[in-house]
């Protein structure tokens, strides 16, 4: 794509964000380029100018944008996760982010569940996103181990996967329930696993 002016970049961002909202509301299936044009008051040729790759390119840009939003919502805690307080703050931040979206769905989780409906490039991008997220949580487990808060024999990658699975599965179960109690129950369970790995055992009190 040709270099964009500042105004062009803004228009492009606006289109990506409107598409992200539409996909969250109606799924990839319920999001046509006509819907995007209507929501952003852009013409066919404008849309083609900014996204010559059409819907596939737009979905890819949405995945990247949602990934950045999701990571930003987890800071500064995600980059820390060296204390139990930091883990608790990270969990609160995530819950607030999802609540703020107005529904119990992770934009990245939903895109991944619809991955069969995307092209290989988008699938690869989602793959890289998951690995990145999980690695950052696993790094947090390693920091807890280095600080003597978690059993050094525990597997950081498996623990990180269990925690993110609780987030995603908890959200999925909360969606039909229209309540966050399943998310809370899933996170409580994942946290119980983490806390059972405090050196000295479960009897230890939160620091």
Contacting positions for a copy of itself (CB under 8 A): 24-30, 103, 105, 109-110, 112-118, 123, 126-127, 130-131, 134, 155, 157-159, 161-162, 164-170, 172-173, 175-177, 181-186, 188-190, 192-193, 196, 202
The answer to whether the CB of 39 falls within 8 A of the CB of 18 is yes
Question: What is the smallest separation between the CB atom of 66 and a copy of itself, expressed in angstroms?
Answer: 14
> In whole angstroms, what separates CA 201 from the centre of its chain?
31
Q: State in angstroms the smallest separation of the CB of 178 from a copy of itself.
A: 9
Question: What would the DSSP string read from start to end of 2-34?
Answer: PPPPHHHHHHHHHHHHHHHHHHHHHTTTT--HH
Q: Would you say 81 or 107 has its CB closer to a copy of itself?
A: 107
- Quote the least distance from Cβ 101 to a copy of itself, whole Å: 12
Q: Give CA–CA dist 56/47, Å, rounded.
A: 13
* Smaller CB separation from a copy of itself, 24 or 144: 24
194: tokens are 């983490």
Residue number, 81 or 106, with CB nearest to a copy of itself: 106
* Rounded least distance, CB 194 to a copy of itself, Å: 9
Q: How far apart are CA 153 and CA 142, in angstroms?
A: 10
Q: Quick one: 145 or 168, whose CB is closer to a copy of itself?
A: 168
DSSP state of 116: G
- What lies within 8 Å, CB to CB, of 103 at 6+ separation is 24, 175
Q: How far is the CB of 38 from a copy of itself (least distance, A)?
A: 17
């Amino acid at each position: 794509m040709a270099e964009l002016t500042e105004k062009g970049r803004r228009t492009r961002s606006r289109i990506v964000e409107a598409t992200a909202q539409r996909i969250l509301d109606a799924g990839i299936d319920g999001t046509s380029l006509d819907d995007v044009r209507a929501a952003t008051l852009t013409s066919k040729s404008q849309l083609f100018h900014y996204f010559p790759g059409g819907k596939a390119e737009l979905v890819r840009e949405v995945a990247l944008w949602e990934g950045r939003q999701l990571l930003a919502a987890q800071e500064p805690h995600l980059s820390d996760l060296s204390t139990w307080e930091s883990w608790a703050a990270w969990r609160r931040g995530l819950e607030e982010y999802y609540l703020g979206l107005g529904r119990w769905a992770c934009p990245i989780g939903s895109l991944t569940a619809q991955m069969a409906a995307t092209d290989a490039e988008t699938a690869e991008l989602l793959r890289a996103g998951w690995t990145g997220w999980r690695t950052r949580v696993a790094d947090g487990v390693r920091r807890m181990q280095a600080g003597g808060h978690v059993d050094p024999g525990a597997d950081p990658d498996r623990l990180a996967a269990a925690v993110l699975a609780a987030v995603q599965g908890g959200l999925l179960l909360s969606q039909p329930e229209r309540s966050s109690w399943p998310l809370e129950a899933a996170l409580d369970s994942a946290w119980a696993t983490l806390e059972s790995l405090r050196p000295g055992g479960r009897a230890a009190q939160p620091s």
